[in-house]
Structure 1
Amino acid sequence: MEQPTSRLHLQRRDPSRNMARFYCLSLESSLFGDAVLVREWGRIGTLGTRRLDLYADAVQAQEALRRLAASKFLRGYCSVG
């Protein structure tokens, strides 16, 4: 069975629009056992913004990661490393 993705690093670059963005998604667990989807985004070279979304279990968090990644790929982001 395929191992679920636990970390994804995306970038979107468009020099004609002076655009250089990153978007990182990772799955972690909280101290209380909740599944946490960590989202970080911003301009490449900056610290950016960080958001934590709590889920009852890892399956729900993995599904949220999959949905967000799909929407970012549609917007032109590409996987890095």
Structure 2
Amino acid sequence: MPKPETGSLHLRRIDPARNMARFYVLSFQPTLFGGTSLIRNWGRIGTNGQAMVETFDENAAAGEAYARLERRKRRRGYTSPGEET
């Protein structure tokens, strides 16, 4: 399980046959009250996309959400920029 101190995770999914070029970014940010926010940003490559912020009181809960979202996106075909085949 990743620790909230880790950097952001950048994933993308490109499928020219379907005219698909998407990105997904996960990152952590500390809150003023000692918790952790998980920031999700997604959309079409070349746009600002959309963003969602989830706040967690405990770092472990934020790490679990991070891992769950990463697994979900990788199952759907998202890869890190250096992993494309």
Per the TM superposition, whether the score is higher than 0.5 is yes
Corresponding letter in the other structure for 2:25: C
Pick the structure with more strand per residue.
1
CA distance in 1, matches of 2:2, 2:64: 13
Tell me, yes or no, if structure 1 residue 58 matches structure 2 residue 68.
Answer: no
Q: Normalised by the size of structure 1, how large is the TM-score? A: 0.90
Cα offset, 1:3, TM superposition: 6.5
Aligned-residue Cα RMSD (Å) equals 1.7
Corresponding letter in the other structure for 2:58: D
Kindly report structure 1 stretches of 4+ aligned residues shifted beyond 6 Å: none
Does the CA contact (< 8 Å) of 2:23 and 2:42 recur in 1? yes
Does the CA contact (< 8 Å) of 1:27 and 1:62 recur in 2? no
Alignment partner, residue 78 of structure 2: 77
Cα offset, 1:32, TM superposition: 2.1
CA distance in 1, matches of 2:9, 2:28: 9
Does the CA contact (< 8 Å) of 2:41 and 2:49 recur in 1? yes
Does the CA contact (< 8 Å) of 1:22 and 1:44 recur in 2? yes
Does the CA contact (< 8 Å) of 2:2 and 2:67 recur in 1? no
Unaligned runs of 5+ in 1: none
Cα offset, 1:9, TM superposition: 0.3
CA distance in 2, matches of 1:34, 1:56: 4
Q: Normalised by the size of structure 2, how large is the TM-score? A: 0.86
Spell out the pairing of 1:1-81 with structure 2 (5 A cutoff): 4=3, 5-80=6-81
CA distance in 2, matches of 1:53, 1:31: 14
Unaligned runs of 5+ in 2: none
Corresponding letter in the other structure for 1:49: Q
